[in-house]
Amino acid sequence: MAEFLIETIGLPAWLAWTCVAGLSAVLILNVIAGGALIFIWAERKIAARIQDRLGPTRTGGRFGWLQSLADGIKLLAKEDLMPEGADALLFRLAPYVSFCASFCAFIALPFAFDTVGQRLNVGVFFVVAILGLEVFGVILAGYASASKWSLFGAMREAAQVVSYEVPLGMCVVVPVMLAGSMDLVTIGEKQAGWAMNWFIFHDPFTFIIFWVYCTCALASVNRAPFDLAEAESELVAGFHTEYSGLRWSFFFMAEYGSMFLVSALAAILFLGGWNGPVPVSKLLGLSDGVAVTDPFALRIVGCMNLFLKATAGVLLMMWIRWTLPRLRIDQVMTTCLKYCTPIAAAMFLGVMLWQLFLPGGLVAGSFRAAAGVREGWLEQSYRKQSAEEESLSVKTLSRHVFEVSR
Amino acid sequence: MSQILDEDQRIIEFDVRTDEMLVNMGPQHPSTHGVLRLVLRTDGEIVSEMEPHIGYLHRCAEKIGENLTARQWIPYTDRMDYLAAMNMNLGWSLAVEKLLRYQVSEKARHLRVLIVELNRIASHLVGMGAYGLDLGTFSPFLYAFREREKILDLFEEVCGARLTYSYITVGGMTADLPPGWLQRCEAFLDQFEPIIQEYHALLTTNAIFVKRTAKIGVLSPEMAIDYGCTGPVLRGSGVDIDLRRDGESIYTAMHDGYAFEVAVMKDGHYPRDHKYPAVPRDAILGDCWHRFFVRMLEVVQSMDLVRQAMDRYSQCKGALGEPLKLAEKLPAGDTYLETECPKGQMGFYLVTDGTSIPWRVRARSSSFSNLAVSPELCRGCLIADVPAIVGSLDVVMGEIDR
Amino acid sequence: MNQASFGIPVSLFASVTIDWHGFFFLLFAAIACISALMVVLSDNVVRMALHLVLSLGATAGLFFLAGAEFLGAMQLMIYVGGTLVLLVFGVMLTAQTQLVSLRTPAGDRVIASILAAALLAVLVQAAFSIESWQKPGQGMVSAPTATPLGMALVGVRVDQHAEEGLLEPKGGYLLPFEIVSVHLLVVLIGAAYLARAKRRRVPRPVDLVASVDSVEPTFSGNSDTTVSGGSE
Amino acid sequence: MIFALLGVASVSHYLVVGAILFSCGVVCMAVKRNALGVLMGIELVLNGANLNFVAFGSNYLAADGRSPLGLDGEVVALFVILLAAAEAAVALAITLNFYNNHATVDVDRADDLHG
Amino acid sequence: MRGTDFISELEAAVDGALVGRDLDAVDPWLEIAADKLLETCRWLKDSCEIRFDGLQCITAIDWFEPDPKKAAKVEWEPHTEVVYHLWSTKARASLVLKVRLPRWQGNEQGKIPELSSVVSVWRGADWHEREVFDLSGVQFNGHPDLRRILCPEDWDGYPLRKDYEMPLEYHGMRGR
């Protein structure tokens, strides 16, 4: 893209890169904001169906699909209130901190094999670390609101998120170990081929640890039954009790963004990422077994795969939310420290031993051959990318400048 | 060993201490069932002290009663436990009838049982649904309201009102049942019966629900009696009292010939608990789970009573009988009558000086006494347990504040 | 090449080159330094913690710029947890005492600032003392350091190339790694010990209420309400 | 000045940033009476030091493309981060105990052993 | 046990407690001397054969006719009556106690009558006594926390007294 801008249109390199970076940022932002709109609508419909009612039916046609947009406009028009005793700066800052954290994590999230904002070789860690930053917004909101309920919500969130980062980290490390890389793209590519290549089916331990991951992910994005930070029956509305209008909707968008993010992460780490259960690309001739012949179509198919899987994850979260009661704070901690962490540790050990003695996995590496081809191509292209400065990496960017200025 | 016994398992102390906080739960809090205000003194998440503040819904019903005739006061009883207004009407009507030594016709008697037990189902449905809400699950609430709406539809046919009925009145009922009502009621019961299993699946046996309610807010029978707790709260502690069986003769006579088993745990078993989920291992008698389960069993029990009452009512020939005059003269004297309402034993005390207007009326509300025990139950629990405990007492503020 | 596509005088832009690495370095360095300064200057613990987080986050950005991606991610991850806890305790411990001023006397501040300025002068002097340090980097895109780092931690050095011709091979870090692991475990246990729950031994007033023996003995298995009998 | 810095992110510049962080940390440790403030000062000092390690260990910044410290710089920085976390936990424990005993986090009040 | 036996037992146990009775009323009741109330209640709860372990209700009735024309016709003296409804779990029986108090302590206008609290006997009496204090103005001596319960803490007067007049204004809100 940048190449195209430089060579065909004749923009200077730095402007071209800026344009491309801006475009990517806007795209990701749209994924979050647009996704949030759709997910809020979906949540309403799903909740309504679960509860034996209809949900939105009028706004925007038969299914009320414009309801969340209408609500968005309403929220924009609402008065922005701030409590008198609030710490004005932190109060204003908090929603953006939350949202930015959610947004930043998407930078390293690959949507298809090479559709990624910034391919980082520590991608997994980066995503998990940034996701953890979201809690700062919540704590600041809780502290700055000058309301005791907000403070309670913030404290709960802090305790919960910090605790769940431990088992979550362990769960995430398992696919890293299997793929031998912390690069999300590599991890995804290792699972190409038939569904049996997905890490969730790699061995019984990974199957179990997938569900541990689901639990921890649910807890770390504060969804029911772990939504203690905003437990409406106990803490009024928790950390966002005092928020209204646009600021409040930023928290909401951050929540849905994170939900999508952890679901997408689950898809990439365990469910084959952008690879479908059947190696369609090969069957359709998008890659002829030797090289990728049509990367564009492959990208589209990959993105759709990942979106489908991540959406399924989000829908699962909604289903859980409208079915289960909420846990108590000590039970949440018990779940983390007494169940998730030891199970994750044991499964980690199990996977390690399995790798040691049965390295191929249950299904022998025959299916992996297909993956190997594309992987090879990808590695090649990655190298090429860095050589030809195709990526958005700050590093390569600057290197370009070094060369230009010299 | 003795040291272990000395320890109060409910109160947890940490080495890490923080400043105590005074927080206000209510009166506009989502989970305080109306305008109840709870002042909590907390150390972190642990509630060291809880104090309810009531009176936000005080409407001087007793004072108003000193200026109205007995029948005129019936709409005011509607507004006490507005979720079970029929039971309130019945309690007051019976108290006045007791003073007058008046006996309603046989047909009216069965109709009263029918209506009152139907209202008990509706009230327990709200209690159950709202309890789910207190514990953070929304769906059972709407499931409960869906069924309650059908009961309200039936009531609407009967008396035109959906919440404040004033249907049962001194000396009988304001009107007889409309034609075809019994069939519709029967149809409702038939479709409602299987749905109860749904509630058990969503709440009673749900692992998280059990974790949130078992061993929480344990009320010993001694304490329950000492505090004057009644109804499901008392039976949830294993005390076998139900005024429909143990009450005063004018009230028990109303239930003559009806077969029912009091929903209370005896020898480790609830009546016909074989049909319903087993008591979870974690639950101990007197905790929130048992209080909840007693209500669930009473829904089944009431359905049974409604069916029996429908049978008897339809067999009764003759007229329903006219209610007493609006300004019936009351003999001088005083009387007190308690009836078994969904929330507990509701007592009405009536003092007259020989005119048609009572000298003093007094409503002894069950929720009032049930709520009075909540500070004891909440001592040392977590903040999240406060809605769980107060919700399990199933209080209605209209009745407490009157 | 079309030099004036879309009517933009491209030559105007072309004369400017922006060094993105330098730009981001400046950005992160400025955030880190200003936030560090704000940590010193602010009195509110929560604000201090916020600035600390900003400073540490910007430092993580500098790590990324220097090619230490793994370290940057670790910095984010660990300090998120670490400072988060700081923040939480800051809030908890100052719930009541926030009105009590913990200000330092101005004299102390001045002395400390002078000393710090002197220290800074020495350090900056040292930073520019060696010529090779001042030369801008080659900007070589080196191989990712995460794998060699991991290997080094388990005792295998894969980063030394034969042509480096070091006098003696560098050792791995297995022993320090193990020591740090044990160290962390000890800290973990210590923290758990600190935060453990204790049961209070004081009998509650309600237990002193006289018992009622008229109740049918349907109540059983509740060990935690010990009714100590009516002593009156 | 700014244009002079542009394009010359060298080891020296990293060292300057590290020095600033270090100095701020030292001042913080010296002047804060709040125990948590002192703790934050320590974190800043450690980070300043870490920046130096990373700068020296970075091949990317090295003038000849090969850093003097190599991987060791990053490894040491990593250990510093880990130990800083452990240190924070211990220091917090001390602070908490202090708070429980004195109902304050003012370090000037910690003079029980003062003769 | 027959009612008469019970009464003689009560008389024997608490000397001079019983000052009046009506066993033929719709609800038979016993009148207890105000100074013997606590002792009687203790006995009823702890020592008598039918243990009255539950206190269901406390009511205060203000016997006072504000209208002087009607007041001339009534046959009772103005007084305050406190009625206790007791309940026995064991016998499934109830008991009505009445205590007669002056409307004002020592006939001193504004000084509410005093009665000993039974909270030490039945914990459930706590809120009931608070309500009686709040609405009818009876001072319960020995109550751990006698405050208004339904009315605001700074409310003036006792609304369930017959001569109560609604204040014209409360914190700037019109009362009448």
Chains that touch D (3 or more CB pairs under 8 A): A, B, C
Q: Which helix (H) or strand (E) holds C193?
A: helix C174-194
**Most confident of the following: C84-88, C164-168, E43-47:** E43-47
3-class SS at E22?
strand
Query: Is the pLDDT score of D21 beyond 80?
Result: yes
Q: What's the rounded mean pLDDT across residues B217-225? A: 87
Ordered by where they begin, the domains of chain C are 18-95+145-152 (1.20.120.1200)
The two three-digit tokens of residue A231, written as one number:
């437990």
Query: Is the pLDDT score of E30 beyond 50?
Result: yes
The whole-angstrom separation of Cα A342 and Cα B98 is 67
| CA A210-A216-A219 angle, 5° bins | 145
Tokens 């009505």 -> residue? E96
Chain B residue with minimal CA distance to A223?
B136
Chain E residue with minimal CA distance to C230?
E46
Which of C45, C93, C199, C202 should one mutate to test binding to chain B, selecting the residue with the greatest count of B CBs within 10 A?
C199
Q: How far is CA B267 from CA B213, B240, C216, D103, in A?
A: 22, 12, 11, 52
Q: What's the rounded mean pLDDT across residues B370-391? A: 87
Tell me the chain D residues in contact with residue C48 when contact means C-beta distances shorter than 8 Å.
36-37, 40
The whole-angstrom separation of Cα B370 and Cα B389 is 11
Chains C and B touch (3+ CB pairs under 8 A): yes
Amino acid letter at B345?
A: Q
Q: Which helix (H) or strand (E) holds C199?
A: strand C197-200
Q: How far is CA E169 from CA B193, E155, E174, E175, E176, in A?
A: 54, 11, 5, 5, 7
Tell me the chain C residues in contact with residue A125 when contact means C-beta distances shorter than 8 Å.
70, 73-74, 77
Could you tell me the pLDDT band of residue D3, with boundaries at 50, 70 and 90?
A: very low
* Nearest of D111, D9, D7, D6 to residue D60 by alpha carbon: D9
pLDDT at C165: 52
Tell me the chain D residues in contact with residue A405 when contact means C-beta distances shorter than 8 Å.
7
CATH number, domain containing residue B294: 1.10.645.10
Could you tell me the pLDDT band of residue C195, with boundaries at 50, 70 and 90?
A: low
* Nearest of A254, A339, D21 to residue C63 by alpha carbon: D21
Residue C182 Cα, gap to closest chain D Cα (Å):
11
> Is the Cβ of B23 closer than 8 Å to some Cβ of chain A?
yes
> Is the Cβ of B383 closer than 8 Å to some Cβ of chain A?
yes
pLDDT at C225: 35
The whole-angstrom separation of Cα C72 and Cα A364 is 37
Residue A13 Cα, gap to closest chain C Cα (Å):
8
> Is the Cβ of C100 closer than 8 Å to some Cβ of chain B?
no
Cis peptide before C105 (omega within 30 of 0): no
Pairing of strands E79-88, B172-173: unpaired
The two three-digit tokens of residue E103, written as one number:
């409307």
Contact across the interface for A158 and C88, Cβ inside 8 Å: yes
Contact across the interface for D7 and A405, Cβ inside 8 Å: yes
Contact partners, residue B205, CB within 8 Å, separation at least 6 = B277, B280
Contact across the interface for D7 and A395, Cβ inside 8 Å: no
Residue C221 Cα, gap to closest chain E Cα (Å):
22
What does the pLDDT look like over B264-285, one tens digit per residue? 887 777 776 556 777 777 888 8
Contact across the interface for C32 and D17, Cβ inside 8 Å: yes
Which among B139, B142, B384 is the nearest to A231, CB-wise? B384
What does the pLDDT look like over C59-116, one tens digit per residue? 888 888 877 778 888 888 887 666 666 666 666 665 555 544 566 677 777 888 888 8
> Is the Cβ of D110 closer than 8 Å to some Cβ of chain C?
no
pLDDT at A376: 53
Q: Taking CB atoms and an 8 Å cut-off, how many pairs form between chains B and E?
A: 90
pLDDT at A233: 75
Residue A129 Cα, gap to closest chain C Cα (Å):
5
Which among B24, B29, B135 is the nearest to A325, CB-wise? B135
Chains E and B touch (3+ CB pairs under 8 A): yes
Tell me the chain E residues in contact with residue C206 when contact means C-beta distances shorter than 8 Å.
123
Q: Contact, D40 vs C49, CB < 8 A?
A: yes
Residue A251 Cα, gap to closest chain C Cα (Å):
19
Which among A47, A155, A326 is the nearest to B135, CB-wise? A326
DSSP state of E160: T
Residue span of the structural domain in which E148 resides: 3-174
pLDDT at A133: 81
CATH number, domain containing residue E66: 3.30.460.80
pLDDT at A3: 61
Could you tell me the pLDDT band of residue C217, with boundaries at 50, 70 and 90?
A: very low
Residue E158 Cα, gap to closest chain B Cα (Å):
11
Lowest mean pLDDT among B227-231, B333-337, E15-19: E15-19
Amino acid letter at C157?
A: R
Assigned domain for B56 exists: no
Terminal-to-terminal C-alpha distance of chain C: 105
Comparing D38 with C210, which gets the higher pLDDT?
Answer: D38
Which of B16, B20, B43 should one mutate to test binding to chain D, selecting the residue with the greatest count of D CBs within 10 A?
B16
Contact partners, residue D32, CB within 8 Å, separation at least 6 = C102, C104, D38, D40, D41, D107
Contact partners, residue A18, CB within 8 Å, separation at least 6 = none
The whole-angstrom separation of Cα E128 and Cα E118 is 10
What does the pLDDT look like over A193-206, one tens digit per residue? 777 778 888 788 88
Contact across the interface for B223 and C206, Cβ inside 8 Å: yes
Per the structure, the count of domains in chain E is: 1
Query: Is the pLDDT score of B1 beyond 50?
Result: no
pLDDT at C201: 45
Which of A402, A403, A406 should one mutate to test binding to chain C, selecting the residue with the greatest count of C CBs within 10 A?
A402
Contact across the interface for E124 and B228, Cβ inside 8 Å: yes
Query: Is the pLDDT score of B4 beyond 70?
Result: no
What does the pLDDT look like over A202-218, one tens digit per residue? 788 888 899 999 999 98
pLDDT at A403: 46
Lowest mean pLDDT among A59-68, A340-349, A358-367, C63-72: A358-367
Lowest mean pLDDT among C177-186, E18-27, E81-90, E135-144: E18-27
Q: What's the rounded mean pLDDT across residues B217-232? A: 88
**Most confident of the following: B388-402, C89-103, C124-138:** B388-402
Tell me the chain C residues in contact with residue E46 when contact means C-beta distances shorter than 8 Å.
210, 230, 232
Query: Could you tell me which residues of chain C have a Cβ less than 8 Å from any Cβ in chain E?
Result: 206, 209-210, 212-215, 230, 232
Residue C212 Cα, gap to closest chain E Cα (Å):
7
Assigned domain for B8 exists: no
* Nearest of A260, A292, A261 to residue A279 by alpha carbon: A292
Chains A and E touch (3+ CB pairs under 8 A): no
DSSP state of A290: S
Contact across the interface for E123 and C209, Cβ inside 8 Å: yes
The whole-angstrom separation of Cα A115 and Cα A391 is 11
> Is the Cβ of D65 closer than 8 Å to some Cβ of chain A?
no
3-class SS at A292?
strand
Burial of C50 (0-12, 13-18, 19+ CB in 10 A): buried
The whole-angstrom separation of Cα C122 and Cα C119 is 5
The ipTM value here is 0.76
Lowest mean pLDDT among B215-219, B309-313, C215-219: C215-219
What does the pLDDT look like over C29-59, one tens digit per residue? 888 889 888 888 887 777 888 888 888 888 8
The whole-angstrom separation of Cα A87 and Cα A153 is 17
E-strand stretches of E65-130: 79-88, 93-101, 114-116
DSSP state of A117: S
pLDDT at A367: 44
What does the pLDDT look like over A68-88, one tens digit per residue? 888 888 888 888 788 887 778
**Most confident of the following: A68-77, A355-364, B65-74, E65-74:** B65-74
Q: Contact, A198 vs A272, CB < 8 A?
A: yes
The 10 Å Cβ neighbour count of residue B402 is 26
The whole-angstrom separation of Cα B146 and Cα C132 is 79
The two three-digit tokens of residue A54, written as one number:
């209809």
Contact partners, residue D9, CB within 8 Å, separation at least 6 = C21, C22, C25, C65, C136, C137, D61
Query: Is the pLDDT score of A406 beyond 60?
Result: no
Tell me the chain E residues in contact with residue B248 when contact means C-beta distances shorter than 8 Å.
94
Contact partners, residue A68, CB within 8 Å, separation at least 6 = A36, A37, A38, A40, A41, A44
pLDDT at A374: 47
The whole-angstrom separation of Cα B159 and Cα B172 is 14
The two three-digit tokens of residue A128, written as one number:
């998990």
pLDDT at B188: 92
Contact across the interface for C224 and B223, Cβ inside 8 Å: no
Contact across the interface for E135 and B349, Cβ inside 8 Å: no
Residue span of the structural domain in which B273 resides: 61-401
pLDDT at C206: 39
Q: What's the rounded mean pLDDT across residues D13-30? A: 86
Contact across the interface for C144 and A121, Cβ inside 8 Å: yes
The whole-angstrom separation of Cα B74 and Cα C141 is 87
Comparing B221 with A14, which gets the higher pLDDT?
Answer: B221
Residue D77 Cα, gap to closest chain C Cα (Å):
8
Q: What's the rounded mean pLDDT across residues B210-236? A: 88
Residue C132 Cα, gap to closest chain D Cα (Å):
7
Q: Is B372 left (phi over 0), alpha (psi -120 to 50) or beta?
A: alpha
Asked if CATH classification 1.10.287.3510 holds for the domain at D11-103, the reply, yes or no, is: yes
3-state secondary structure chain B: CHHHHHCEEEEEEECCCCCEEEEEECCCCCCCCCCCEEEEEEECCEEEEEEEECCCCCCCHHHHHCCCCCCCCHHHHHCCCCCCHHHHHHHHHHHHHHHHCCCCCHHHHHHHHHHHHHHHHHHHHHHHHHHHHHCCCCHHHHHHHHHHHHHHHHHHHHHCCCCCCCCEECCEECCCCCCCHHHHHHHHHHHHHHHHHHHHHHHHCCHHHHHHHCCCCCCCHHHHHHCCCCCHHHHHCCCCCCHHHHCCHHHHHHCCCCCCCCCCCECCECCCHHHCCCCCCCCCCCCHHHHHHHHHHHHHHHHHHHHHHHHHHHHCCCCCCCCCCCCCCCCCEEEEEEEEECCEEEEEEEEECCCCCCCEEEEECHHHHHHHCHHHHHCCCECCHHHHHHHHHCCCHHHHHC
What does the pLDDT look like over A143-174, one tens digit per residue? 888 788 888 888 888 888 888 888 888 888 88
Pairing of strands E29-32, E93-101: parallel
Percent of the residues in chain B that have a pLDDT greater than 90, as a whole number: 11
Q: How far is CA D93 from CA A151, A166, D98, D107, in A?
A: 22, 20, 8, 14
pLDDT at B398: 86
pLDDT at C156: 67
Beta-bridge partner residues of E84: E58, E97
Q: What's the rounded mean pLDDT across residues D60-66? A: 66
3-class SS at E64?
coil
Assigned domain for B41 exists: no
pLDDT at A6: 64
Assigned domain for B335 exists: yes
Lowest mean pLDDT among A25-34, A140-149, E153-162: A25-34
Q: Is the dihedral of CA D65, D70, D75, D81 positive or negative?
A: negative
> Is the Cβ of B316 closer than 8 Å to some Cβ of chain A?
no
What does the pLDDT look like over B61-107, one tens digit per residue? 888 988 888 888 999 998 888 888 999 999 999 999 888 888 888 88
Chains that touch C (3 or more CB pairs under 8 A): A, B, D, E
Percent of the residues in chain A that have a pLDDT greater than 70, as a whole number: 80
Chain E residue with minimal CA distance to C229?
E46
Could you tell me the pLDDT band of residue E4, with boundaries at 50, 70 and 90?
A: confident
Comparing C74 with B361, which gets the higher pLDDT?
Answer: B361
